[in-house]
């Protein structure tokens, strides 16, 4: 025992010496000194207090010595309940109204008060995205932010509902509904893609002691099977799946749809039938997350622009690209995966003069971890049989199997899980506001332009925290009304020990907005039934704020952010569908500074034609998932 105390004593002496070198003497630990400390309440607990909630919270109250009768009496007088007293520690576990915490913290015999946070092994995805931290941003520790009560529809190749990761304990599965639109008459997952996707969004901590926990581990899952046993599907099946979700949204509280699939865009989003189905779902209040696609480079390995797939080209969808986190929880080494599809979108319509008018929207909207992620494996699935190296299982139990997968298919459900957490925290959020908050709180990545990373890397902690500060009476909000219950929005997050500032921007169709007013004031473009892009008008190539949809001092960029972090001035010519990016004119087949523009007939990395209209029966005519079988390089 004596030996174990030496490092502590040495550390204490070192800290004292450091204080002296800095010209600061350590203060004596008197009760009077401790009572004046400004940070006696933990940050997550203070966030709950700032919201003005009077609901009970579970806390740990540390005192300077054994808790006194006076302290216990004060807790009782403030409607607090002591759940646990410790024999060897100067602390108590209690539950009390959030509004009473400040009063207790002012007592001289109280050293620190923190939330009674849940504990357990954490997984890489929930840690590096900040989802683990968001668990503690609930009103009570008995109801952590874990997606409970929110339905996430997974439109994919099916879900193995018997897998342990979809159980919250016992034999009850959280897959609450399953329906098949492939014609195969089954709702399990013989292909293997959908189960993996679903567990990234909502896998529980029961698998591998929490090592592969999903973002929203208590959310309900709705299994919409639209891809067959070989991973192929059709636009009509996907539309039927979206239609079913719309009809049954109230029965299962379906608030989020995930589409980790897509097809080569030919039509403008204005005419694309899947995009129109997505728009209908969003207009009715559902958040739709779509994979950007895995065509970020051509067959020669060059950067490829303009390869966002449908329905990722739809402006109301949250289009998600992939980040390579290199297996670390730290975000400082993250980069956009080389295979992640880049914007602008290249769907088009043909005008009366026979000229193609390209959409050229800035996409993706954000990026999320998607490289070599381990998640649930359905038994004996085709993907693992074809590529045995994907199998990451360590035991014989098929209900606990796991596998590696990479791609924007994996990134999209991470964002879908984040949306579920936000909606649990604040059910009044509109789909547009969910999208705006996810973008506003994102972390921008140095060295990548907006059409590569969108608003930046998903920041679940920041998004859930900001969602909790937004007013609940949004239905009565008008353009320019106060949006938050606090004086100002926060602006930074710390994840895995690394602090970063939020990007503070929201992407429009062809530009992006910045400024605190985006979150201080209710923006008309956050309303249901409109587009987030409706806050800006375009006239003669110039961006003009629409006063009906955009309020307050908000800065409009005049183009896209370049890889060096600067913004391109005069970066857009709407009339002829041509866009400037990285300082070089983008047109069909014109070279960029660091890549090539996707043009009709350009061959992609998987040797499929890009924008050429596929022949009938060609697999490129249908919807396909986006798994990348190898690591990003």
Question: Which DSSP string corresponds to 432-488?
Answer: HHHHHHHHHTPBP-TT--HHHHTT-B--HHHHHHHHHHB-S-GGG--TTSB-BSSSS
306, 394 Cβ separation under 8 angstroms: no
Q: Which pLDDT belongs to residue 22?
A: 31
Q: Report whether pLDDT(15) > 70.
A: no
Q: Which pLDDT belongs to residue 121?
A: 39
Given CA atoms 352, 269, 532, 249 in this order, what sign does their dihedral have? positive
> Among candidates 59, 74, 60, 64, which has minimal Cα distance to 28?
64
242, 278 Cβ separation under 8 angstroms: yes
Q: Which pLDDT belongs to residue 272?
A: 87
- Average pLDDT of the segment spanning 299-316: 90
Q: Rounded to an integer, what distance in angstroms lies between the CA atom of residue 319 and that of residue 364?
A: 5
Q: Which pLDDT belongs to residue 579?
A: 41
- Average pLDDT of the segment spanning 191-211: 86
Least confident of 174-183, 217-226, 389-398: 389-398
Q: Which domains can be identified in the chain, with CATH numbers?
A: 31-115 (3.30.70.80), 124-585 (3.40.50.200)
Q: Give the whole-number percent of the chain exceeding pLDDT 90.
A: 39
Q: Which pLDDT belongs to residue 190?
A: 96
- Which residues have a Cβ under 8 Å from the Cβ of 369 and sit 6 or more positions away? 124, 125, 128, 129, 322, 323, 325, 334, 410, 411, 414, 458
User: H/E element holding 320?
Assistant: strand 318-324
Mean pLDDT estimate for the chain: 79
- Average pLDDT of the segment spanning 374-390: 92
Q: Report whether pLDDT(608) > 70.
A: no
Q: Rounded to an integer, what distance in angstroms lies between the CA atom of residue 193 and that of residue 410?
A: 9
219, 201 Cβ separation under 8 angstroms: yes
Q: Rounded to an integer, what distance in angstroms lies between the CA atom of residue 630 and that of residue 633?
A: 9
Q: What is the pLDDT of residues 145-173, one digit of tens each?
A: 999 999 999 999 999 999 999 987 667 89
Q: Report whether pLDDT(573) > 50.
A: no
Q: Rounded to an integer, what distance in angstroms lies between the CA atom of residue 247 and that of residue 118?
A: 36
Q: Rounded to an integer, what distance in angstroms lies between the CA atom of residue 400 and that of residue 627?
A: 21
Percent helix, percent strand, percent coil in the chain, to nearest 5: 30, 25, 50
Q: Which pLDDT belongs to residue 189?
A: 97
Q: Rounded to an integer, what distance in angstroms lies between the CA atom of residue 410 and that of residue 375?
A: 10
Q: Which pLDDT belongs to residue 26?
A: 32
Select, from the ranges 24-33, 471-480, 619-628, the one with the highest average predicted confidence (pLDDT): 471-480
Q: Report whether pLDDT(287) > 50.
A: yes
Select, from the ranges 35-39, 66-70, 420-424, the one with the highest average predicted confidence (pLDDT): 420-424
- Which residues have a Cβ under 8 Å from the Cβ of 25 and sit 6 or more positions away? 19
- Which residues have a Cβ under 8 Å from the Cβ of 413 and sit 6 or more positions away? 154, 197, 198, 200, 201, 214, 215, 258, 260, 289
Query: By three-state DSSP, how is residue 364 classified?
Result: coil
- Would you give the distance in Å from CA 235 to the centre of its chain? 26
> Among candidates 220, 231, 205, which has minimal Cα distance to 147?
220
Query: pTM of the prediction?
Result: 0.77
433 or 508: which leads in pLDDT: 433
Q: Rounded to an integer, what distance in angstroms lies between the CA atom of residue 97 and that of residue 74?
A: 13
> Among candidates 48, 42, 38, which has minimal Cα distance to 62?
42
Q: How confident is the model at residue 347 (pLDDT cuts 50, 70, 90)?
A: confident
Q: Which pLDDT belongs to residue 471?
A: 94
Least confident of 129-133, 507-511, 570-574, 626-630: 570-574
Query: By three-state DSSP, how is residue 159 classified?
Result: coil
260, 291 Cβ separation under 8 angstroms: yes
Q: Report whether pLDDT(623) > 90.
A: no
């Amino acid at each position: 025992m004596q030996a174990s105390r030496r490092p502590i004593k040495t550390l204490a002496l070192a800290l004292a010496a450091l204080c002296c070198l800095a010209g600061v003497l350590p203060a004596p630990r008197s009760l009077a000194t401790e009572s004046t400390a400004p940070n006696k309440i933990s940050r997550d607990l203070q966030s709950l207090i700032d919201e003005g909630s009077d609901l009970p919270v579970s806390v740990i109250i540390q005192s300077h010595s054994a808790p006194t009768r006076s302290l216990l009496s004060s807790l009782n007088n403030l409607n607090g309940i002591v759940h646990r007293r410790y024999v060897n520690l100067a602390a108590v576990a209690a539950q009390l109204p959030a509004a009473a915490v400040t009063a207790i913290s002012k007592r001289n015999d109280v050293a620190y008060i923190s939330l009674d946070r849940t504990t357990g092994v954490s997984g890489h995805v929930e840690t590096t995205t900040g989802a683990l931290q968001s668990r503690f941003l609930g009103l009570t520790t008995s109801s952590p932010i874990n997606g409970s009560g929110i339905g996430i529809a997974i439109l994919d190749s099916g879900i193995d509902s018997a897998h342990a990761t979809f159980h919250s304990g016992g034999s009850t599965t959280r897959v609450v509904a399953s329906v098949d639109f492939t014609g195969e008459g089954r709702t399990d997952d013989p292909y293997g893609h959908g189960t993996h996707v679903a567990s990234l969004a909502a896998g529980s901590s029961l698998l591998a002691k929490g090592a592969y926990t999903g973002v929203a581990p208590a959310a309900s899952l709705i299994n919409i099977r639209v891809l067959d046993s070989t991973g192929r599907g059709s636009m009509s099946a996907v539309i039927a799946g979206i239609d079913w979700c719309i009809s049954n949204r109230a029965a299962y509280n379906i608030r989020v749809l995930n589409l980790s699939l897509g097809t080569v865009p030919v039509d403008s989003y204005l005419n694309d039938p899947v995009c129109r189905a997505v728009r209908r779902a969003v207009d009715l209040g559902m958040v739709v997350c779509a994979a950007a696609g895995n065509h970020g480079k051509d067959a020669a390995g060059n950067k490829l622009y303009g390869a966002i797939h449908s329905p990722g080209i739809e402006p109301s969808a949250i289009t998600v690209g992939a980040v390579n986190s290199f297996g670390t929880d730290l975000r400082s080494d993250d980069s956009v995966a080389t295979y992640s599809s880049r914007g602008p979108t290249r769907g088009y319509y043909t005008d009366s003069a026979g000229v193609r008018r390209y959409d050229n929207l800035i996409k993706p909207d954000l990026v999320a971890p998607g490289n070599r992620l381990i998640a649930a494996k359905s038994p004996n699935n085709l993907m693992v049989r074809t590529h045995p190296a994907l199998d990451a299982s360590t035991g014989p139990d098929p209900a606990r199997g796991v596998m590696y997968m990479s791609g924007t298919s994996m990134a999209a459900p991470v964002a879908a899980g984040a949306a579920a957490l936000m909606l649990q925290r604040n059910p009044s959020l509109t789909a547009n506001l969910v999208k705006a908050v996810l973008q506003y709180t994102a972390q921008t990545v140095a060295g990548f332009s907006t059409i590569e990373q969108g608003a930046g890397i998903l920041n679940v902690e920041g998004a859930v925290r900001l969602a909790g500060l937004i007013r609940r009476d949004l239905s009565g909000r008008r353009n320019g009304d106060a949006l938050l219950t606090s004086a100002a929005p926060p602006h930074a997050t710390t994840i895995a020990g690394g602090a970063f500032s939020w990007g503070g921007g929201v992407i429009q169709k062809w530009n992006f907005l910045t400024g605190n007013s985006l979150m201080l004031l209710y923006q008309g473009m956050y309303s249901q039934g409109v587009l987030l892009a409706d806050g800006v008008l375009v006239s003669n190539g110039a961006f003009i704020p629409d006063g009906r949809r955009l309020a307050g001092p908000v800065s409009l960029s005049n183009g896209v952010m370049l890889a060096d972090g600067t913004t391109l001035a005069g970066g857009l010519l709407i009339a002829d569908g041509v866009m400037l990016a990285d300082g070089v004119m983008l047109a069909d087949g014109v070279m960029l500074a660091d890549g090539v523009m996707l043009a009709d007939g350009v061959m992609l990395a998987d040797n499929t034609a890009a924008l050429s209209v596929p022949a009938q029966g060609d697999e490129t005519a249908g919807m396909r998932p986006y798994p990348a079988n190898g690591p990003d390089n």
